[in-house]
Structures are given as C-alpha cells and as structure tokens.
Amino acid sequence: MLTILGSGSALPTRDHFPTAQLLDLREKQFLIDCGEGTQIRLRQMGLKLNRLGHVFISHLHGDHCFGLIGFISSLGMLNRTADLYVHGPVGIRELFEPQLAFFCADSPFKVVFEEFDSRRHAVIYDDRSLSVSTLPLRHRVPCAGFLFREKPGNRHLLREWIDYYHIPVAQLHLIRQGADFVNAEGELIPNDRITAPPNPVVSYAYCSDTAYHEALIPLLQDVDVLYHEATFAESEVKRARQTLHSTAREAATIARKAGVGKLLIGHYSARYHNKELLLNEAREVFENTELTSDMQTFAIESMVKSS
Amino acid sequence: MLTILGSGSALPTRDHFPTAQLLDLREKQFLIDCGEGTQIRLRQMGLKLNRLGHVFISHLHGDHCFGLIGFISSLGMLNRTADLYVHGPVGIRELFEPQLAFFCADSPFKVVFEEFDSRRHAVIYDDRSLSVSTLPLRHRVPCAGFLFREKPGNRHLLREWIDYYHIPVAQLHLIRQGADFVNAEGELIPNDRITAPPNPVVSYAYCSDTAYHEALIPLLQDVDVLYHEATFAESEVKRARQTLHSTAREAATIARKAGVGKLLIGHYSARYHNKELLLNEAREVFENTELTSDMQTFAIESMVKSS
C-alpha cells in the first residue's frame, strides 16, 4: 500500500503538503521523501512506524527533505530504538548531521546516512523479499527516483495434496521453495501438483523531480505502478523546460512507452487549484492515470499482462 | 491582532501544529517562534506577509524553530526582497546559516540573525511605535519570552475646534504631539481643548517554554494580554517540574500575580485531547483565561484598569 503524505510541490497550498510518501511492501515500511509536515500528516492519519527502517530522499531541495529533522526528532520522543537508515544523494550527511547532533543529541536511536550516486542505476537496498534501486533523473540538482521490486515469495502448499501424499513436515520448507517430492515408493510428485504459484510480485517506481527523460523508459519496463511528477499542464511547457520539471502529458508519455500498469501523478504546481486539467491531459496519452492527493492511499498490485 | 499558527508542543497532534504565532501591531507583523508547518498554516489561512520584518525565536528546541528553513525558503519563492531579521538565542546563526547557504543560495533577500542573551531582560527591537524586549524564562535550554509594548501614538485633532480657532495647518503636527496653541491675540488655547487623547497603548507578552517562574511577575505588570505555556494539568505537576514546563494553574498564577488583562494558554502536551481540564484549572485561579487553538485569532486590546 502507498500512502500519500504530501502531493504538492515547493509551495504548500491549502490542500497539499510538500512531497512525502509512505510505502508498505512485504510487511515493511519505507518513507520516500520527507517534505515539511511529514510527521504532521503521519500523526493526523494515526500511522505507526514500527516497521520502518529506511528513508529514501530523492534530492536536496527543501520540499523533499525539510521534514526530515522534525520527523527524526519526533521518532526519538516516541521512543524508537532501532537504527534508522537515511538514503540520499551525496551531501545529505554533511547537511543534516550538525542539526541532528544539536537537536537530537539525546535520541535513543542511531541515524545512519547512506549516500548514493544519483547518476547511476544501482541497487541501494536489498533483502530477502525486495530490492530498491536508484533511477537517475534529470533535474536542477543531483536527483534520483527509486524502484521498489518485490522478489518472488514462496509457493503456497495445497493442503489437501500434502495430506494425500503424506508429505513429512520436515520437507515442507523445501517444497514451498519449489522442490519436487519423492515418496517411499520412489515415485516423483512434481511440485506444481502439491503447491500453487507464489503471489505475483509487484513493483513500484517513484520519479520526482525530473524533466521528460526517455532514459527512464527501459528502467521502468512493466512496472506495476509508476508515480511520476506532473508539475505543469501543457500550457506551461516552457516553464517545465526551464525548471526541469515535467508536464502531465510527459509523465503519461513515459508511462505509455514503458508499458507500466498504472500511473499516479502529483507534485502539482501551486497554481493549479483544480487538477482535472492535469488528469485529462495525462489520460489522453495514458488512460490508467490517477491523481494523488494528501492522505490518500493506493493499492500497489500486480498488473499481470494477459500475454 | 494575534493569529495562532500552532498551539501544540513537541509532538504534533491531529489538531495542533507545533508553536508559532503571528502578531499584527501598529501595521507591522511579527512572527513569534516557527515550529514545523508554520508556512503551511500561513498558506492555509491565506495570510500575506508584506509587513513582516522580524522573526523572534524563543529557544532552540525543534518545536519552536524547525519551520524556519521552509518558511524562509518559501518567502524567497514568493519574491520577497526586503531583509528579514531573525532574533534568537546565541547559537541560532551557526545552526541555521549552513542550511540557508545551501537551500536558499538564490534567495532574493538577506536573512540577518540577531542573537540575544536569554538571561537578560533587554530591548531587542525598537521603533517609533513599539518596542520588543526579552523575558528570561526557566527552561532546559537558554530560552526567552518576548514583551511587545506599543508606544503612545499622536493625539487626535478635534476638527471642529481646530477650525474654530483657525489653527494653521503648519502647526497641526506639533499639536498632535501635545503642544498648546497661541492665537494672534496671544491667547493660549490648551492642547486638551483641541485634541483627544491618543489611542490607548497595548502590550502583549509571550512566555513559552518555562517552568513556573516568579521572576517574570514584575516584568509582566499590567500587560494587556499574556500568552503563557500550559503544557500540563495539575495531575502531571511532577512531569512539569522534570521538563521545566508549567501547569495551567501555574500559568494562571503568574497572570493573577502580574495583574494582566487576559491570559491565553497553549503548548498543550499531546496527551490532552480535551483542553477543558486545562482551562478549568487555570480559570480557578485567573478567570479571564482562554484556550488557544490553531488558526484562531485574538484581538490585542487595551485592558484599561478602572483605577
């Protein structure tokens, strides 16, 4: 599940906080960007962060990281003890460590900064169930998006067939991982007779902030859900070029060319009170587009192709 | 007028942002403390800051200053050009200048830090119409409140008497300041026959965060409106002592002993969903107490004593 904590851009509006998202995948939480007010939205929504270990900061513009110090400070007051890893572009440690040292000197947990090279597509987080890699973006400062990819989980035991073949408990672990079974008579029972396939894996890509950037397309192939910034409408395409942001149509073009399952757009310029214009411009190019708004949640589901 | 931008304490709640207030006195705006989300509240309320020149930070705890960098950054995006003065305890410059240099390098205006000694009661701002002085508080880190005192304005000309005595326009400036008038026949017309008294001056004192601190009482004599933190109810008096905060009853005791006109309380601990308990405990000691809440406004009026 994806929770939008802030869907706006640099200037907050009546409705939109600056950018932040909470991603819940495989029983783990990941915070993606941390604009001012992130901790406020979390508290307003009553969200607990017991399963959060890693924060990913796309770039060092204020609307993506000014909430970091308050967020970390409040985690300390809420008695967090587990280490917190903050992944960000080179420079993030030097920028935030002095403030952490001053304001969070009594913090009961450690903050570990992990810097990445935003020009490279590389795995920066990896565990048994998923990996996170950087997506180089084209913006005014070093900036990377993030691609979350689940790994295939275990197969599901078909209880009635497990019983029928009298399979010993000790072997179930291997069978979940795809092993066939050989019974006392030497007969081989193929795995797919006694198990069902694992849950489909899902992938989520986060691209903010960036100019239209075709180098992303191969990296986003078949991603289930893509969040792509859509700061401007087509009428402001010049401003998009100047500021290295995208229009809604450009976000949709990336989505279509990469063949993603669903597109979410956000990071709206404060000038758009009504976002329908942005939505319509995107849908002309890529039908399965949705607007994001603060405190909204989206399922991150597999969009299995019929092919 | 006083606008409450945040009425909470360290942990934001569903209703309360951390502390920030906007004071509008004599056609000038003053920002007092700047917790996370200050710029968000300002935008939500549609407030413009054309008359803001000075920010006052009471102390360097995050819930009173984490909004500063975002606030300053957004002022730059809104094309402010006038210098901004940020008054705070010693250390504020060193703490914020590196972040300003990084995030606001292109800012179209200058930020000038003015550090004060929080142990002294001293004037830190002074102009023709009002002054601001520090109020030493007792907290875990160096901390000062702020006392805003208007100076008497000009007397009001009584137009019919001005006409009756044929007073030349060139003399009106002095007469507004209290001068008598001598006519062509040498007759003295006393000032109070041709003018009415100036508007009454008002004063506002801001005291957050502090333990119960009787040294404040002489400094707060006859203040019109006092904001005093009331983090805890009486049942948590031990916790108040440990953290160097006040109970609502203690805030009211200071108000009563200083003979202020009205008491506003805030900086509520996140544990109090219902603030009536705090209000009732304060009102038992000082009847003219009011709760503050986010985005609420209060008139700052003269509470002229009948004596």
- Give CA separation, B249 vs A161, B43, B234, in Å: 71, 34, 7
Residue B304 confidence (pLDDT) = 58
Q: Are residues B167 and B271 in the same domain?
A: no
Q: What interface predicted TM-score (ipTM) does this complex get?
A: 0.90
Strand ranges in B199-299 using DSSP code E only, listed in sequence order:
203-207, 225-229, 262-266, 289-291, 297-298
Q: Are residues A139 and A180 in the same domain?
A: no
Length of chain A: 307
Residue B180 confidence (pLDDT) = 96
- C-beta atoms of A99 and B99 within 8 A: yes
Give yes or no for A40 touching B (CB within 8 A): yes
Total of domains in chain A: 2
Residue B184 confidence (pLDDT) = 87
Residue B191 confidence (pLDDT) = 96
> Could you give the residue ranges of the DSSP H alpha helices within A78-203?
92-103, 159-164, 169-176, 191-194
Q: Smallest Cα–Cα separation from A118: which of A184, A42, A56, A46?
A: A56
Q: Are residues A145 and A274 in the same domain?
A: yes
Catalytic-role residue among B63, B209, B224, B294: B63
Q: Smallest Cα–Cα separation from A64: which of A118, A138, A142, A6?
A: A6
Give yes or no for A239 touching B (CB within 8 A): no
Q: Find, in chain A, the residue whose alpha carbon is nearest to that of B60.
A: A103
CB A291 within 8 A of CB A265: yes
A-proximal residues of B, 180-199, CB under 8 Å: none
Q: Are residues A246 and A174 in the same domain?
A: no
- The amino acid sitting at B149 is R
Helix axes B92-103, A92-103, angle to 10 degrees: 160
- Give CA separation, B82 vs A81, B24, B78, B99, B103, in Å: 44, 18, 12, 20, 18
Structure token pair of residue B67: 């909004």
Chain B hits for A88, Cβ within 8 Å: none
Chain B hits for A40, Cβ within 8 Å: 12, 17, 36-37, 40
CATH code of the domain covering residue B125: 3.60.15.10
Q: How far is B65 from chain A (nearest CA, A)?
A: 10
Give yes or no for A141 touching B (CB within 8 A): no
DSSP assignment letter at B268? B
Q: Is B78 left (phi over 0), alpha (psi -120 to 50) or beta?
A: alpha
CB B205 within 8 A of CB B225: yes
The reply to whether B307 falls in a domain is: no
Residue A306 confidence (pLDDT) = 41
Q: Are residues A132 and A149 in the same domain?
A: yes
Chain A hits for B60, Cβ within 8 Å: 102-103
What is the rounded distance in angstroms from the CA atom of residue A34 to the CA atom of residue B113? Answer: 27
Quote the pTM value: 0.91
In sign, the C-alpha dihedral spanning A29, A34, A38, A39 is positive
- C-beta atoms of A74 and B103 within 8 A: no
Q: Are residues B170 and B277 in the same domain?
A: no
Q: Are residues B179 and B294 in the same domain?
A: no
Q: List chain B residues with pLDDT less than 50.
A: 306-307
Q: How far is B75 from chain A (nearest CA, A)?
A: 10
Q: Are residues A217 and A206 in the same domain?
A: yes
Give yes or no for A95 touching B (CB within 8 A): yes
Give yes or no for B39 touching A (CB within 8 A): yes
Strands A188-189 and A289-291: unpaired
The reply to whether B222 falls in a domain is: yes
Helix, strand, coil percentages for chain B (3-state, nearest 5)? 30, 30, 45
CB A260 within 8 A of CB A289: no
Beta carbon pairs, A and B, within 8 Å: 80
Chain A hits for B39, Cβ within 8 Å: 12, 36
- C-beta atoms of B61 and A103 within 8 A: yes
Residue A10 confidence (pLDDT) = 87
Catalytic sites of A, residue numbers: 63
The reply to whether A306 falls in a domain is: no
For residue range A57-78, list pLDDT tens digits in order: 999 999 999 999 999 999 999 9
First to last CA, chain A: 26
Residue A22 confidence (pLDDT) = 98
**CB-closest option in A37, A62, A77 to B36:** A37
Structure token pair of residue A204: 């989520």
Residue A307 confidence (pLDDT) = 37
What is the rounded distance in angstroms from the CA atom of residue B149 to the CA atom of residue B123? Answer: 10
The reply to whether A304 falls in a domain is: no
The reply to whether B304 falls in a domain is: no
The reply to whether A95 falls in a domain is: yes
The reply to whether A41 falls in a domain is: yes
Give yes or no for B98 touching A (CB within 8 A): yes
Q: Are residues A76 and A217 in the same domain?
A: yes
Q: List chain A residues with pLDDT less than 50.
A: 306-307
The boundaries of the domain holding residue A142 are 2-153+201-298
The reply to whether A307 falls in a domain is: no
Residue A304 confidence (pLDDT) = 58
Residue B305 confidence (pLDDT) = 57
B101 Cβ neighbours under 8 A, 6+ residues apart: none
For residue range A108-130, list pLDDT tens digits in order: 999 999 999 999 999 999 999 99
Q: Are residues B86 and B130 in the same domain?
A: yes
What is the rounded distance in angstroms from the CA atom of residue B237 to the CA atom of residue B278? Answer: 12
Helix, strand, coil percentages for chain A (3-state, nearest 5)? 30, 30, 45
Number of H helices, E strands in chain B: 10, 18
Residue B203 confidence (pLDDT) = 97
- C-beta atoms of A73 and B62 within 8 A: yes
Q: Are residues A216 and A70 in the same domain?
A: yes
Q: Are residues A168 and A282 in the same domain?
A: no
Q: For residue A29, which phi and psi values (nearest 5 degrees)?
A: -110, 140
Structure token pair of residue A29: 């939480």
**CB-closest option in B36, B73, B102 to A67:** B36
